[in-house]
Amino acid sequence: MAHPAFLPSNVAVITGGASGIGFAAARRFARMGLKVAIADLAGEKLETARATLATEAGSENVLAVATDVTNVPELEHLREAVDAKFGGADILMNNAGIQPGSSVFDAKNWDSILAVNLFGIIRGSQVFGPSMIKRQKPGLIINTGSKQGITTPPGDPAYNVSKSGVKTFTEALEHELRNTKDCHVTAHLFIPGFVYTPLAAGGRTEKPAGAWTAEQTVDFMLERVSAGDFYILCPDNDVTRALDEKRIFWAAHDMIENRPPLSRWHPDYQEKFAAFLKGSD
């Protein structure tokens, strides 16, 4: 049974909505009968996405607003545009994200990654959340995180830090919402697996066998939100939930067992981790 926020004629706002998972979510919501507002950087990509959605769902049910999620006045303008056309938002999907690469001792990209991936989600929730609560209707705030924010593999520390922050913020957000009187809005941490999108394509023009499509990932998200999950931990064609759980368990036990951080990649622990995955000691 679908979550009550997914009712036809309700309103979904998706940042990073012009491509990838965001656009797949916008199309899925529109096909469910929702009114859809997509926000993304100004340009051809946003206009093409708007035109596609308008063709499929009708221009009266679609809004596209050029928005830089690092800019609070632009987020406020997005909310005002949604209010003016649709009367408010029932679903907010804070999905905008970037992954240009990073390293520990090079400051390049750190500010932009944190500004988009972490503060874009924080500010989006702060701009839309209070008015969503005031509607006193079932609502959803879905924040796109990453497994890299949980198991934090080496190689892209700024991205990991941003997505670790999204996890922590969304947990705090859900706690705040469930302790707010007369609030019918819930928060959910969306954790995609390997998804073939422009962000993850890495120059590939065909979907790798191990990846899910954006559409598969969105369908899984809708299913698990409707089931009441907070942590929407998505599998893919290579990684099962059981494998994800073992990786998360091992990462958490670095602290519990006082191992070196990221011991999964430490030469003294790699064989032990491999044995753990196989179910041996």
Catalytic residue among 159, 196, 231, 269: 159
DSSP 257: T
| 209: number of Cβ within 10 Å | 7
Beta bridge partners, 185, equal: 139
Q: What does R_g of the chain's alpha carbons equal in angstroms? A: 19
CA 140-218-40 angle, 5° bins: 75
- As a whole number of angstroms, the distance between CA 49 and CA 46 comes to 5
Structure tokens at 107: 């400051």
Beta bridge partners, 64, equal: 38
- Of 170, 150, 168, 172, the closest CA to residue 160 belongs to 150
Query: Is 231 considered catalytic here?
Result: no
- Enzyme catalytic residues: 159
